[in-house]
Amino acid sequence: MDTFFNILSFIGSLAFFLYGMKIMSEGLEKLAGDKMRNILGAMTRNRFMGVLTGLGVTALIQSSSATTVMVVSFVNAGLMSLRQAIGVIMGANIGTTVTAWLISFIGFKVSISTLSLPLLAIALPLYFAGKGKTKNWGEFMFGFAFLFMGLNLLSASAESLNISTLMTNWLSHLPCDSFWTIPLFVLMGALLTILMQSSSASMAVTLMLFEMDIPGFGFAQAAALAMGQNVGTTVTAFLASMTANIQAKRAALAHMFFNVFGVIVVLILFYPTIHAVEWLVINVLGAESTNMYLLSTFHTCFNLINTLLLIGFVPQIENFVCWALPIKTEQDEKFSLRYISGGLLSTSELNLMQAQKEISLFAERCHRMLGFVGSLLTTDDNEQFVSLYSRIKKYEAITDRMEIEIATYLRCVSEGRLSDSSKAQIMKMLRQVDELESIGDSCYHLARTLRRKRENCTESFTDEQMMHITQIMTLTDTSLSNMGILLEQDTPVTEDQAAYSHNLEDEINNYRNELKSRNLNDINAGRYTYLLGVFYTDFVCECEKLADYVINIVETKE
């Protein structure tokens, strides 16, 4: 019973550590806010800047997995090229070593209880009484305290579980002096990281085991575990790319290739490498610091040397992954959201940028639908009419699906830890997708009106009717085009932009009223039949209704 309780305590301590890291990471991300979005959206002009960016962002949010998932998402969204992504991934591998150094400096040498509890006391009023950045600072401090409390509990539960004895008994059956046990530890490190989905957590466990001075588990075995963690962490990005486009899959494959290549190179020169690290630590940090910083130094050197070896071959890596994952044919590409993948979410704040890009694409599709309606209006060829109508019907189904998928995605994002401004932005975005779906319905209703007229009325629209229909279609098209421009900009609309949009909507309303009134006079004058007048006013009124949906979207940007 005690053993079962100790196992649960160990798992719970690990959960506490992971939760602390998650809270700390999200607090830092919200403190960075739009700055991080701008950095990841506009940087990486060359491979060296990409490495520095990946290093900085990963050191900031304390998760190489989060950075690589973001990179895969951005490649999927077209915000970053494959070549840029490779550079960022290289930097992320270096940035993730900060966690090991942090644990080495603080985690096992300082009484966590004396630091974490006062830190929680300071964080409490900031978190519950503060708003904006003050609350984010409180959240970061909570996460920092939880992380190291979890680390302290992890160490204590490991002692209660008597892991050192269990490891010693297991290692006694292995020829630890043989090189062939090293690949076994690499595999174990990879599996441990895959199970935890966090290389930082598995590194914390490795550091804890190394500090226990377990017979048979020395620096070589701990270094092998750390190498395996670099392979295991690539699985997260691979999972995120499963439902993404081909470029995102290539980015995930490049990440895997980069880390596996580094492991193979170091395995070939394993013992010279660890001896060199031992010499470096002893001569630079001093002999008394050997046990404390040996593994952290190896982890940093491993990723740094791997980056230096491969940074000059980024184009070749790009060519390799393109060869390994070729694009077969465009026909193989079924409809899917372009900027949002169905895999793992990246960090919550950054998901909003992807969703906004998808909404802009949604607006572009609706605008294209209206263009199809214009072509439908002017064609006399029956075969072309049927083809255009089928295309509009297909687009209407696509808009229905886009609304559901984007709204579902936004609801998943809203379950994460978001700033107040981001929560408000999600509400606006949900309204935008709802109104865009209504615009898609309106375009389909316009097409249906033309089809019903073609099937039930032998008359053609008069020249005067066609002139008025063309005019209201032009005004509607202008309002849709203007809406698309406003959706693409990151800032709220200006007073002039808002006034222009409202003036357009007023002009369409007044024109609709004028045409409805004139229609009754023309029917009474016998210029055309009542049935033709019905189809005419239905079309005009639907255009006005579409413009109402447009102004509703514009108002979300005010």
Burial class (CB in 10 A: 0-12, 13-18, 19+), 505: buried
Question: Which alpha helices (DSSP H) does 78-218 contain, by range?
Answer: 82-95, 97-102, 112-129, 133-161, 163-171, 181-196, 199-211
Report the percent of the chain where pLDDT is more than 90.
21
pLDDT-based confidence at 373, cuts 50/70/90? very high
Number of H helices, E strands in the chain: 23, 0
pLDDT-based confidence at 405, cuts 50/70/90? confident
- DSSP state for residue 113 in the 8-state scheme: H
Which region among 83-97, 151-165, 468-482 has the lowest average model confidence (pLDDT)?
151-165
The pLDDT assigned to 476 comes to: 94
Place of tokens 């975005």: 429
Mind listing the pLDDT tens digit for each residue in 276-311?
Answer: 888 888 777 665 555 667 888 888 888 888 888 888
The pLDDT assigned to 334 comes to: 43
Can you say how many angstroms the Cα of residue 328 is from the centroid of all Cα atoms in its chain? 26
d(CA 340, CA 73): 7
Place of tokens 């950054």: 350
Torsion of CA 221, 227, 232, 236, to 10 degrees: 140
Average pLDDT of span 191-210: 73
d(CA 390, CA 382): 12
Mind listing the pLDDT tens digit for each residue in 513-530?
Answer: 999 999 989 889 889 999
All domains of the chain, ordered by start, with CATH?
348-556 (1.20.58.220)
Buried b (16+ CB within 10 A) or exposed e, 172-203: eeeebeeeebbeebbebbbebbbebbbbbbbb
The pLDDT assigned to 343 comes to: 47
Apex CA 431: angle with CA 426 and CA 434, to 5°? 125
Q: Give me the count of residues in the chain.
A: 558
